[in-house]
Structure 1
Amino acid sequence: MPRSRYAAVLALAVLAGTLTFAPAVRANGNFVFFPTNDSYVSAGSPNSNFDNQPVLAVAANPTRISYLKFAVTGLLDPVIHARLRIHVSAIPDAASRTGGTVYRSGTSWLETTLTYANRPALTGAPLGTYGQVAANTWYDVEVTAAVVNGIVSFGISSADANGAYYDTRESGSTTAPQLLVETGIPGTGENVLLAAGDIASCDRDNDEQTARILDREPGTVAALGDLVYETGTPAEFTNCYGPTWGRHKARTRPAVGNHEYLTANAAGYFGYFGPQAGLPSQGWYSYDMPAGGWHIIVLNSNCSKVGGCQVGSPQERWLRADLAANPVRCTLAYWHHPIFSSGDRERPELLPLFRALYEADVEILLSGHAHQYERFAPQTPNRVDDPVQGIRNFVVGTGGRSLQPDFGTIVPNSEVRNGTTYGVLKLTLVPGIYQWRFLPVANQTFTESGAGTCH
């Protein structure tokens, strides 16, 4: 199977006029499907057909259910993510309303004959909920479990008496509903890494939203430092981090951040995670993901707390020894502070550690600290683009604490940036190949994905 098939680039469809046919648009394993049929039904007029209406209605009192049908074709690889994206055309009043819950539905209906009396049943457990919605805004729901090659049909219902109105397929390419499908490497709990930093505090609930991503995604959790605010005390870990990301403590492999050290010796962090966090005097360790054939290295970027990061420092010597002792083809590393960042938070004192990783042909480096998402092309320690040996860097400070929308001067090799979306980076690691995807929290649409091969 060609490796290029695993490259994930979001495809954009360019259609003109009314959508009378719904082909897929594909770009390297990504597909965009438009509905072949969509309409709604109303319990208030059980024998009426509403195909001539310019919207899809979802509400209660009377019950109104919207239906969308897609012809999914051309999927050669496993479906790893699928999202039903719809655009709110209006809401009945100025307040945000519940956008509805998505279910599978029967497929034997046509928009020209659909009525409440002959509507297909909504089947199975809910696939997802749009939550509160606002007019002139896109919303996504994860529907991966329902998508295969063939005819796929969804129903959207709501218990909200006011509900919402969505644009139909006749709206044209700018606002028509979309089914976004990504295919590629199948992820299992044994070959998936879920990464983000800058996570929890007791005075906000964004970390609960990102924790819900972990609830549905199997894999090892790479917590990239500054796990709880403000000072990483034992009480904050118990009361603020524990109820959200702490639900996944047993599968978490953390890195220590600077906020953890606002408690002396990061005692709250090391006390909470115990041996999972490495020795309290060090904070560095490594582990393997044998299902994917990957070696994972966790480092402590708080250099002043552990004897420095310079050449010959205890951590630099340990790192080189660990790399020499684990000469696998695919290696990934993570720490808290970024060495490259357009968010003006770079830490050049980490360069000796980065150089050791580069010389050992490490593939990926993850960090947080900047409350943003940024991806870099593979590069050398001197910021030279290097697709052959370079390390691909990700900054994923989007775990929940807060966001920094504004980037500073865009530094070399920065490819993708977002400072307005909380979420988690999902890395699927298999022998010789890796695939990434940014998973946004519910009702956020930013995502980006791609793939690479090991050196």
Structure 2
Amino acid sequence: MKQGVRWGVRGVTGWAALVLLAGCGDEAPSSEVDCQKSSGLEMQELAVAPTDDGYVEEGLEQAGSGVERKLVADNLSRRSAYLRFNVPALPGPVMQASLRLFALDGSTDGPKLYPTTTDLNENTLTWSQRPSITGEPLGDLGEVPHRSWVEYDVTPVVTGSGAYGFALINESRNGVDFASKEHSRVLWRPGLVLSVEAPRSHGCLQPDPG
């Protein structure tokens, strides 16, 4: 397995926020109301959908890939895919961030993931209007099985709320197709999954009437 990449098989029911709540604290209940309050921090998992995605082919200036159901990264035809995310205000710092993609068509050697500028508009995306790469690869996939989930660790660049851009560039002639945000199967669409350290929720249990 190459650096910066994690394989994932867990499902996500849509790209709504997923919150994992910890249990209550160990404080003794009061004599009148059995109320348990927790304190401290807990990990919450949030999933963010892309605002824009699409792919470009070297030398072609006709836009339109933003409405397609796939993102193509293929060195044979010199195609590269791009995604943009807008992370909303968060309840705490980001401890872990992963880009999750579903491979519709696998590859013997998957693409590298790069950070980019955030000037991506899927409606006007062309080879000359593609975002610029801003750093070293965040991950590099090896073999990608047909119809499988892959994850890139993007923790080094996703540090909080704001806009983030990524490029999928394949150096192999055996390309890969990922599901885009337009895919008819919602569960296959891309997502930025964040583990956030947030204040622990509070709960109050009423006394058992029996």
State the TM-score, normalized to the length of structure 2.
Answer: 0.72
Give, in angstroms, the shift of residue 11 of structure 1.
Answer: 9.1
Counterpart in 1 of 2:110?
99
After TM superposition, give the deviation of residue 50 of structure 1 in Å: 1.7
Match among 154, 176, 197 for residue 184 of structure 1: 197
Question: What's the counterpart of residue 440 of structure 1?
Answer: none
Q: Deviation string for 1:28-58 (max 9, x for gaps)? A: 4110111111100110424443223321000
Report the residue type matching 1:181 in the other structure: L
Q: CA RMSD in A?
A: 2.2
Does 2:37 correspond to 1:25?
no
What residue in structure 1 maps to residue 203 of structure 2? none
Instruction: State how far apart, in whole Å, the 1-side matches of 2:189 and 2:197 are.
Output: 26
Q: One-letter code of the match for 2:96?
A: H
Note if 1:132 corresponds to 2:157: no
Deviation of residue 119 (structure 1)? 0.6
Structure 1 unmatched ranges of 5 or more = 1-9, 16-23, 186-455
Counterpart-to-counterpart distance in 2, 1:40 and 1:51: 7
Cα deviation, residue 123, structure 1: 1.4
Larger radius of gyration, structure 1 or 2? 1
**What are the equivalent positions in structure 2 for 1:20-419 lying under 5 Å apart?**
24-28=16-20, 29-91=44-106, 96-147=107-158, 148-171=160-183, 172-184=185-197
State the match for 1:14 in structure 2. 14
> Could you list the per-position Cα deviations for residues 304-327 of structure 1 after superposition, in whole angstroms to 9, with x for gaps in the alignment?
xxxxxxxxxxxxxxxxxxxxxxxx
Pair 64,11 (structure 1): closer, same or farther in 2 beyond 3 Å: closer
Distance 1:170 1:11 in 2: 18
Residue 170 of structure 1 deviates from its aligned partner by: 1.3
Paired AA for residue 56 in structure 1:
L
Aligned residues with identical type, % of pairs: 29
Q: Is the 8 A contact 1:39 1:68 kept in 2?
A: yes
Q: Partner amino acid for 2:14? A: V
Counterpart amino acid of residue 60 in structure 1 = N
Cα pair 1:42 1:62 within 8 Å, conserved: yes
CA contact (8 A) 1:86 1:139 kept: yes
Cα 1:27–1:66 change in 2 (3 A) is: same
- Structure 1-normalised TM-score? 0.34
Superposed displacement of residue 110, structure 1? 0.9
Distance between the aligned counterparts of 1:73 and 1:12, measured in 2?
Answer: 19
The alignment covers a number of residue pairs equal to 165
Asked if the contact 1:86–1:138 (Cα under 8 Å) also holds between the matched residues in 2, the reply is yes
Listed one character per residue, the Cα deviations across residues 354-402 of structure 1 (whole Å, up to 9, x for unaligned) are: xxxxxxxxxxxxxxxxxxxxxxxxxxxxxxxxxxxxxxxxxxxxxxxxx
Q: Secondary structure at the match of 1:51?
A: helix
In the alignment, residue 178 of structure 1 is paired with which amino acid?
G
Bigger strand share: 2
Distance in 2 separating the partners of 1:70 and 1:53: 18
Quote how far apart the aligned CAs of 1:178 are: 1.1
Judge conservation of contact 2:52–2:66 (CA < 8 Å) in 1: no
Which one has the bigger helix percentage?
Answer: 1
Secondary structure at the residue paired with 1:134? coil
**Any conservation in 1 of the 2:70–2:177 contact (CA below 8 Å)?**
yes
Q: Which has the higher contact order (CA 8 A, sep 6+)?
A: 2
What CA distance in whole angstroms lies between the structure 2 residues aligned with 1:54 and 1:32? 20
Q: Is the 8 A contact 1:12 1:25 kept in 2?
A: no
Q: 1:170 to 1:102 in 2, by over 3 A?
A: same
* Contact 1:13-1:32 within 8 A present in 2 as well: no
Alignment check: 8 A CA contact 1:44 1:62 kept: no
| Cα pair 1:84 1:178 within 8 Å, conserved | yes
Q: Which amino acid aligns with 1:84?
A: L
Query: Aligned pair in 2 of structure 1 residues 62, 25: CA closer, same or farther (>3 Å)?
Result: same
Deviations 1:176-205 (A, max 9, x none): 0111100128xxxxxxxxxxxxxxxxxxxx
Q: Which amino acid in structure 2 is aligned with residue 83 of structure 1?
A: S
Shift of 1:66: 0.6
SS of the aligned residue for 1:174 comes to helix
SS across alignment from 2:67? coil
How many Å separate the matches in 1 of 2:190 and 2:165?
13
Q: CA deviation at 1:130?
A: 2.1
Give the match's secondary structure for 2:182. helix
